[in-house]
Amino acid sequence: MTNSEHMRTPTANEIKHSLRKQGKTLKSFAAENGFKYRTVSDVVRGLRQGNFGEGREVRLKLGLPVND
């Protein structure tokens, strides 16, 4: 892999696939980590950037890059 592939944000399908490999859904991930399902769904789909607040916590928990 090149550096650009390491730095890119995974797509919504890639994130969901990764969770499915762990036996989780967005809903179960949200429940396990104390997040609202809607917040997790919005972050994964890119409707929330997740630069602060609960959206940021979701991004961190999913291992996604966060803008500081």
Residue 34 lies in a domain: yes
Q: What is the pLDDT of residues 7-59, one digit of tens each?
A: 688 999 999 999 999 999 999 999 999 999 999 999 999 999 888 999 999 99
Would 67 be classed as within a structural domain? no
The boundaries of the domain holding residue 34 are 3-62
- Count the domains in the chain: 1
Residue 38 falls within a domain, yes or no?
yes
What is the pLDDT at residue 33?
Answer: 97
C-alpha to C-alpha distance for 18 and 13, rounded to whole angstroms? 8
- Residue closest to 6 by CA, chosen among 66, 67, 68, 65: 65
- CA-CA distance, 44 to 36, in Å (whole number)? 13
Q: Is 7 within the bounds of a domain?
A: yes
The pLDDT value given to residue 30: 97
